[in-house]
Amino acid sequence: MREDLEVFSFIFGAVIGSFLNVLISRLPKNESIVSPRSFCPSCKNTIAWYYNIPLFSYIFLRAKCAYCKTKIPFRYFIVEFLSALLTLLLFQEFGIGLEFALFSIFIYVLITLSFIDFEYKAVPDYLLLMAFVLSLFITTYPIIEALKNAFMFCGAFVLLNFILTFYIQNIKSRLTKDESLRTQEALGEGDIPIIAAIAIILGIKGALIAVFLAAIFAIIPSIYSSFIKKDIQTPFIPYLVLGLLFEYFFRLEDLLKVIY
């Protein structure tokens, strides 16, 4: 019975991931998420249901549109797989219940935010607010302590953002003679609500570990963007989310306590 529910949770997560792909594609463009049905962006053909089965269709079609053979971005598969895997992990953590439902919705919002940030380097404010509010419902900390953690952690990052931004705009821009850095900010406004949500869920110590991991994860993509793609902006929300997930599921804070 337990194994059947685990399989169901994985399949359910993959189906939700398919819907998240719709959100990622349409929300930034202010398009309806209900109508029209899923269609190929290249040939505009409506995708038949049997070509739209999460995970399997991508593999079966060899990552190509069934009609025009245009390559399907790998993002569609990875969103469905991540949604499926994380739903399974959350089911193993909580079982079926309200906590599982709320945490799952929170994770789905974070996945949507991450991939929108990857593609557009800007995210809808209402999704950020949704993630922040949901974090208050799933934290194990008392509400006052959770808010205190958020304010303290965000306050530290606002100060850090000021210092790093000053360095980038006034020192790095002169050293590199790159005038485009004159208006760059170290952290985007969208990073702060996610940082607050991380502190609410993990507490100060856990949040520090999560953000440290996020910085490590972001190093190589940041170097690639700066020197290969010549893009000075690196979306940080995906790496914050990755840091949160690593700390939450692997409990690195507890491991450090054992070591030290």
pLDDT, average across residues 236-256: 89
* pLDDT at res. 125: 92
* pLDDT at res. 38: 87
Mean pLDDT of the chain: 87
* pLDDT at res. 158: 74
Asked if 255 and 226 count as a contact pair (C-beta separation under 8 A), the reply is: no
> What is the maximal distance between C-alpha atoms in the chain?
64
CA of 139: how far to CAs of 39, 44, 77, 160, in Å?
38, 43, 30, 25
Cα three-residue angle 134-189-230, rounded to 5 degrees: 125
Asked whether the predicted pLDDT for residue 217 surpasses 80, the reply is yes
Q: CA-to-CA distance for 222 and 218, rounded, in angstroms?
A: 6
Nearest to 235 by CA among 213, 223, 212, 218: 218
pLDDT, average across residues 216-240: 75
pLDDT, average across residues 93-114: 96
Asked whether the predicted pLDDT for residue 169 surpasses 90, the reply is no
* pLDDT at res. 128: 95
pLDDT, average across residues 72-81: 96
Asked whether the predicted pLDDT for residue 175 surpasses 80, the reply is no
Asked whether the predicted pLDDT for residue 155 surpasses 90, the reply is no
Better pLDDT: 220 or 129: 129
* pLDDT at res. 27: 94
pLDDT, average across residues 156-173: 66
CA of 217: how far to CAs of 13, 71, 213, in Å?
25, 28, 6
Omega before residue 36 within 30° of 0, cis: yes
